[in-house]
Amino acid sequence: MRSGELAKLLNVSDQTLINWMSRPEIRPFLSDTAVGESGNTQRIYTESDVLVLNTVRTLRAKGIQNWDEIQKKLEEGEREQEFPQNAIVTDNRTIPLPQAKQAAEYAIVLEQLKSSQKRANDLELLLAETKREHAELRAEYNTLLRLVGKLEGTIENIEKNERERRERGND
């Protein structure tokens, strides 16, 4: 949205918008394209810029003239979504707020889904590695059991031979 369109929407003059945007308390809440720092000669306002400036308009209309107070309200996340009754939005270049919120929520959910899928894949790899290690340990355990069995048999044979030798020696 351009300056003239926004001024018309908010029912204020172009100069009033420029005055508001020159306030150091308000500038941090505006995009580079709104404050004219993007390199473009024409100021372009985002949906967020429109809401910030509409909030400034509403607060000033309610008698709040102190810029520090307005800054505090903006820092607390206050955004006025009700526009003047004479405002007719014909700008189709901006996304309506409900759709913008929905798109933002969708992006967050999509990111969470991707993160969950990655975590699930990582856990599946970990499970496969754990199963492989378990199988190796089970095979090693079985080998050791067989060796213990052989050693026990060997010990029994040695003990038996030793007993027999002693018995023959006593005869």
| DSSP bridge partners of 44 | 2
CA 9: distance to chain centroid?
34
By three-state DSSP, how is residue 78 classified? Answer: coil
pLDDT (0 to 100) of residue 95 = 56
64-99 pLDDT, tens digit each: 999 999 999 999 999 988 877 665 555 555 556 666
Longest Cα–Cα distance in the chain: 128
E strand or H helix that includes residue 100: helix 97-170
Tokens of 86: 């004479």
Instruction: In whole angstroms, give the CA distance from residue 60 to residue 20.
Output: 11
pLDDT in tens, 1-17: 788 888 888 889 989 98
In the chain, % of residues over pLDDT 90: 55
pLDDT score of 24 more than 90: yes
DSSP class of residue 25 equals T
Question: For residue 51, how many other CB atoms are within 10 A of its CB?
Answer: 20
Q: What is the mean pLDDT of residues 153-166?
A: 94
Decide: 30 and 21 in contact? Cβ < 8 Å.
Answer: yes
Determine whether 68 is exposed, middle or buried from the number of CB atoms within 10 Å of its CB (0-12, 13-18, 19+).
exposed
Where residue 29 falls (left for φ over 0; alpha for ψ -120 to 50; beta otherwise) is alpha
d(CA 74, CA 58): 12
Q: Domains in the chain, ordered, with CATH?
A: 3-94 (1.10.1660)
What pLDDT does residue 87 have? 57
Separation CA 102–CA 8 (nearest Å) = 27
